[in-house]
Chain A
Amino acid sequence: MYAFDIERPTTVAEAVNALKTDEAQPLGGGQTLIPTLKARLAAPSKLVSLSAIAEMIGISREGSTIRIGGATTHGQVATELAESYPALGYLASKIGDPAVRNRGTIGGSVANNDPAACYPAACLASGATITTNTRDIAADDFFLGMFETALEEDEIVTAVTFPVPQKADYQKFEQPASRFPLVGVFVAKHDDGVRVAVTGASESGVFRWTEAEEALSADFSAGALDGLSVDADGMITDLHGDGAYRAHLIKVLTGRAVTASR
């Protein structure tokens, strides 16, 4: 790695201030950033660790929503949401591996928006709100493309708030090497309709399969998807599968998610 300093602020205000330095970068759990640094693909002057900011750690139930601090680990989400939002807890329990889950954070995952990350699908399907140090952003407005979000420079994700749906499920078909989703589908049935969010599949990053949402809002059953299909155009083709395969899996996994929703 190139050389850099690390600061460990204990409040959001301190962190925002530390990030004003040229070439400073926020450090969440580091499970994505540190391998990048090892490969010398980035050369920050300073890393601002967010893991010691108490106000960003923790999960709270607020009426029909669940608020997760941006520096909360996947492991904590997996354990604490098992009852209150099982599909989201399950998603967190399947990220990486146990050691990764003890460090990786929701804020880091969401801010990075890897096209094969799990959390963005949960955010979109839940209609979540991403809170930063300056504003709230609806999930629909937050994920702009592969590795691209609405975050401005020096903006950090301090919390993500999830409306809890009536029922939901996450189906993750793992890419056998990375164990990221080759395709991951999060289905959530809300009072006002169904949302279907897909990750791992599209060259444009996480997206909502609106055709399926309409059909499922009318009839929440796997059969409602008969006759629907996803266009292979724009789906990722790589070592592990082509666009047609990913398009096919989207439909298969959506049906399975609907059937398994609770």
Chain B
Amino acid sequence: MPKDTGIGASTRRREDVRFLKGKGQYTDDIPPAHDQAAAVFARSTVANGVIKSIDTSVAESMPGVLAVFTGADFADVGGNPAGWLINSRDGEPMKEPKRPVLAHGKVRHVGDAYAAVIAETEKQARDAVEAIEADIEELPAIMDVKAALTSDNFVHDEIGTNQCFDWGWIEDNRRATDDAIKGAAHVTTLELVNNRLVPNAMEPRCSMASYKESSDEYTLHTTSQNPHLTRLLISAFVMGIPENKLTVIAPDVGGGFGSKIYHYGEEALVLAAAKRVGRTVKWTSDRTEAFLTDAHGRDHVTTIELATDAEGNFLAFRTETYANVGAYLSNFATATPTFLHGTLMAGNYTVPNVYVNVKAVFTNTAPVDAYRGAGRPEATYSLERVIDKCARELGMDPIALRRKNFIKPDQYPFASAAGLEYDSGNYDALMDKMEEVADVAGFAERRKASEAKGLLRGFGVNAYVEACGIAPSNLVGVLGSRVGLYDAATVRVNATGNLSVMVGAHSHGQGHETVFPQIVADMLGIDAQSIDIVHGDTSKIPFGMGTYGSRSLAVCGSAVVRATEKIIAKAKKIAGHMLEAAETDIELKDGQFSVVGTNKGVSFGEVALKAYIPHNFPIEDIEPGLEETAFYDPANFTFPSGAYCCEVEVDPDTGKVRVDRMTAVDDFGNVMNPMIVTGQVHGGLGQGIGQALLEAARYNEDGQLESASYMDYAMPRADDLPFYIVDHSQGTPCTHNPLGAKGCGEAGAIGSPPTVVNAVIDALQSGGKNVTHIDMPLTPHRVWSAMNNA
């Protein structure tokens, strides 16, 4: 019986009401301050250039203009830091060129901001930006990752190279992996591109700052997935504003997918501007700016080899990847292709040897960083495509080949050859369930029906495992992270018995305002409606690292549990006093504290009131009040896994691919709200199918982004996608967090791209076309060309 309330219930979302009524408050919706002013940026139209001079004199004198900033204004201010130090194979630390608030000396990608105008109105600021005369000497653009490594045209002259790092994982395993490949009966090789994507959250970025001179305090409203992290970065690294003088508030945020994790120069600029002009200063991105300057995702060029014995047992995976980091290092840019990618290169398999090499390369493109999946889609794509190719070469069924090499349920915890310890899983059960709910057995009939209509039909399947719920601070610290990855919650019981739960996570669509109360209500046995979530405001919440990497439930949710456990412990003490019993004799059930084995009890509400009106209260033993905070640092990543399959129809005359069926069977451990979890998978599938068939951020050789609007960047629409078949009944609980929950936010985007490509290859092969690979996106043109060149 599905539950109505509490953990495991598909409780409808309370935040929906304001969104459906148009009463959400996104940053651009905030009513203008009485002193509101606008910021507009001057952005480079060339990809690589030396700034010879910037003449702002005309701009400064134009109507309504309050100030004009250039890179020179920030020369003494810190750069936007890289959050994770990666060492190259030779032991050298990675290159960390400065990422200034405004470009100074050079512009390094189309869209790189080199000046900003603050004016009374946005139109006046825009008019003044047009009057800025910048003399920029254009240089050849550095665009190709391989050519960049041998070029002496540098994105950052001061480091004398375009290579950020050359990383190996695990370096000690390289020899054994090479040997395993050399001696193997069969080696499958695949060269593939993981296509660059633009996240395109529907809400464009927006930042608004104000400065209060009387107290020397700043307030920044900004579209962020993690206000505390943003505050820390601005304070400690960039502007030097003390944390206790800077409040960062992320109100309702319209999607992020990673792109709103990072600190961006626009945030620092509006803060500096607010102080200089003494006004509230707001900048709102338009969609073109979003295309040019929001951190892009993916952009790997990879060669992967899979060595097997004659029976198809996996002996080794070896990969070499060129990872484009763009013109500047975004905050997590160095972690995404390394510790969120290479560590997954053993996949769901018992393979004994894995070696991953990643060369991170600077180019004159927008910075690249984590985007839904962040490194794990790249790993899964490489693995599951080469396994598919191997199955064809060996004449083995793609499901059978995978099952043969799966980690078995009795092998957990499992130390993978790529350095992670998976806590739990059952990949065969997932595959069994997938075969059932996807009606794999019926594929042959459906293929006949498609062929009767003149269409080719293909079946694609793969598994995945990923590491999320990031992350154990000690572990990531050892691996180079410069931040911890815990989270925090404060549970505040009010005197009248309702609760405020302040959380460090920040929902931008994930439903925290509904799910966290479900958990607390379940633990306390009270009505979830009496629990309110507070998030997004650094002046109100404990320090949390925010929402990304499918961590809000596993990490922040665990903090909520721990804080609630502390509440229960104290409440039992108070109840024990009220009931004149030892606290060890007090049990909590359905919101009632009672003495075990008796009818004597007090309600949660009575305990709350007592805590705040502590008459006849043992203050020597218990403090008044009922408010507890917990910081939760996870012991490990969580390891969701899945078995995905899809069926596509391909029109051989046009190359057009249509996804007819898409099935996702995932292990998310214990599920808190099935409806929300399913919604997360749906969204990930939409983005994964988008990557596989539609989306590509394309720069030309001069560094111009040719796909800089929805006219050329194909966003998935409703008629590009089918209804999905989703199942998460085969959960194996996470063994190390109190919820037993594994992260679910990114799974759909991780598991689905190889599923779709595998299916298209299968369709083409069924039509007699010997096509073994096509790079994403599989546009009609690419598919048709591959068919006609086969």
Interface residues of A (CB under 8 A from B): 1, 3, 39-40, 173, 176-178, 182, 239-242, 245, 248-249, 252
With contacts A177-B714, A245-B781 taken as known, whether A239 is within 8 angstroms of B653 at the C-beta atoms is no
Min CB–CB distance A34 → chain B (angstroms): 14
How far is it, in angstroms, between the C-alpha of A177 and the C-alpha of B288 when the chains are bound? 15
Min CB–CB distance B76 → chain A (angstroms): 34
Q: Is the CB of A173 within 8 A of B710?
A: no
Q: Which residues of A lie under 8 Å from residue B653 when comparing CB positions?
A: 252
Closest residue of chain A to B288 (Cβ to Cβ) is: A39
Q: Is the CB of A176 within 8 A of B654?
A: no
Q: Is B706 an interface residue (CB 8 A)?
A: yes
Q: Is the CB of A245 within 8 A of B785?
A: yes
Closest residue of chain B to A39 (Cβ to Cβ) is: B288
Q: Per-residue CB proximity of B706-718 to A under 8 Å, as 1/0?
A: 1100111111000
With contacts A173-B654, A252-B653 taken as known, whether A242 is within 8 angstroms of B711 at the C-beta atoms is no
Chain B, 372-394, CB within 8 A of any chain A CB:
none
How far is it, in angstroms, between the C-alpha of A236 and the C-alpha of B190 when the chains are bound? 32
Jot down 21 A-B pairs with beta carbons below 8 A, ordered by A. Answer: A1-B123, A39-B288, A40-B126, A173-B654, A176-B694, A176-B714, A176-B779, A177-B694, A177-B710, A177-B712, A177-B714, A178-B710, A178-B711, A182-B780, A240-B781, A241-B779, A241-B780, A241-B781, A242-B781, A245-B784, A252-B654
Q: Is the CB of A239 within 8 A of B780?
A: no
With contacts A176-B779, A245-B784, A245-B785 taken as known, whether A239 is within 8 angstroms of B712 at the C-beta atoms is yes
How far is it, in angstroms, between the C-alpha of A245 and the C-alpha of B782 when the chains are bound? 10
B715 partner, pick from A39, A177, A241, A248, beta carbons under 8 A: A177
Q: Is B408 an interface residue (CB 8 A)?
A: no
Min CB–CB distance B178 → chain A (angstroms): 40
Q: Which residues of A lie under 8 Å from residue B785 when comparing CB positions?
A: 245
Min CB–CB distance B64 → chain A (angstroms): 13
How far is it, in angstroms, between the C-alpha of A252 and the C-alpha of B714 when the chains are bound? 23
Q: Is B698 an interface residue (CB 8 A)?
A: yes
Q: Which residues of A lie under 8 Å from residue B707 when comparing CB positions?
A: 177, 239
B779 partner, pick from A1, A178, A240, A249, beta carbons under 8 A: A240
Q: Which residues of B lie under 8 Å from residue A3 when comparing CB positions?
A: 123
How far is it, in angstroms, between the C-alpha of A249 and the C-alpha of B651 when the chains are bound? 12
Q: Is the CB of A239 within 8 A of B654?
A: no
Q: Which residues of A lie under 8 Å from residue B713 when comparing CB positions?
A: 177
Min CB–CB distance B128 → chain A (angstroms): 13
Interface residues of B (CB under 8 A from A): 123, 126, 288, 653-654, 656, 694, 696, 698, 706-707, 710-715, 720, 779-781, 784-785
How far is it, in angstroms, between the C-alpha of A240 and the C-alpha of B713 when the chains are bound? 10
Q: Which residues of B lie under 8 Å from residue A176 when comparing CB positions?
A: 694, 714, 720, 779-780
Q: How many residue pairs between the two chains, A and B, have CB atoms under 8 Å in the bound complex?
A: 43
Q: Is the CB of B654 within 8 A of A177?
A: no
B784 partner, pick from A39, A177, A178, A248, beta carbons under 8 A: A248
Min CB–CB distance A225 → chain B (angstroms): 13
- A interface, over-half SS: loop
Q: Is the CB of B712 within 8 A of A178?
A: yes
How far is it, in angstroms, between the C-alpha of A1 and the C-alpha of B124 when the chains are bound? 11
Known: A1-B123, A177-B710, A177-B715. 17 other contacts (CB 8 A): A3-B123, A39-B288, A173-B656, A176-B714, A176-B720, A176-B780, A177-B694, A177-B711, A177-B713, A178-B712, A182-B780, A239-B696, A239-B698, A239-B706, A239-B712, A245-B781, A245-B784
Closest residue of chain B to A252 (Cβ to Cβ) is: B653
Min CB–CB distance A60 → chain B (angstroms): 33
Closest 3 CB pairs of A and B: A177-B714, A176-B714, A241-B781
Min CB–CB distance A131 → chain B (angstroms): 31
Q: Which residues of B lie under 8 Å from residue A252 when comparing CB positions?
A: 653-654
How far is it, in angstroms, between the C-alpha of A200 and the C-alpha of B706 when the chains are bound? 18
Closest residue of chain B to A176 (Cβ to Cβ) is: B714
Closest residue of chain A to B711 (Cβ to Cβ) is: A178
Q: Which residues of A lie under 8 Å from residue B710 when comparing CB positions?
A: 177-178
How far is it, in angstroms, between the C-alpha of A173 and the C-alpha of B653 when the chains are bound? 12
Min CB–CB distance A180 → chain B (angstroms): 8
Min CB–CB distance B79 → chain A (angstroms): 32
Q: Which residues of A lie under 8 Å from residue B696 when comparing CB positions?
A: 239
How far is it, in angstroms, between the C-alpha of A173 and the C-alpha of B698 when the chains are bound? 22
Q: Which residues of A lie under 8 Å from residue B698 when comparing CB positions?
A: 239
How far is it, in angstroms, between the C-alpha of A257 and the C-alpha of B599 when the chains are bound? 82
Min CB–CB distance B41 → chain A (angstroms): 15
How far is it, in angstroms, between the C-alpha of A241 and the C-alpha of B785 when the chains are bound? 10
Min CB–CB distance B692 → chain A (angstroms): 12
Specify which of A177, A182, A241 lies most central, judged by the most chain B CB atoms within 10 Å of its CB: A177
Closest residue of chain A to B696 (Cβ to Cβ) is: A239
How far is it, in angstroms, between the C-alpha of A249 and the C-alpha of B655 when the chains are bound? 10
How far is it, in angstroms, between the C-alpha of A240 and the C-alpha of B656 when the chains are bound? 12
Min CB–CB distance B778 → chain A (angstroms): 11
How far is it, in angstroms, between the C-alpha of A77 and the C-alpha of B631 when the chains are bound? 63
How far is it, in angstroms, between the C-alpha of A234 and the C-alpha of B720 when the chains are bound? 30
Closest residue of chain A to B698 (Cβ to Cβ) is: A239
How far is it, in angstroms, between the C-alpha of A181 and the C-alpha of B336 when the chains are bound? 38
How far is it, in angstroms, between the C-alpha of A92 and the C-alpha of B720 when the chains are bound? 21
Q: Which residues of B lie under 8 Å from residue A178 when comparing CB positions?
A: 710-712
Min CB–CB distance B110 → chain A (angstroms): 15
Min CB–CB distance B524 → chain A (angstroms): 48
How far is it, in angstroms, between the C-alpha of A1 and the C-alpha of B714 when the chains are bound? 26
Q: Which residues of B lie under 8 Å from residue A182 when comparing CB positions?
A: 780
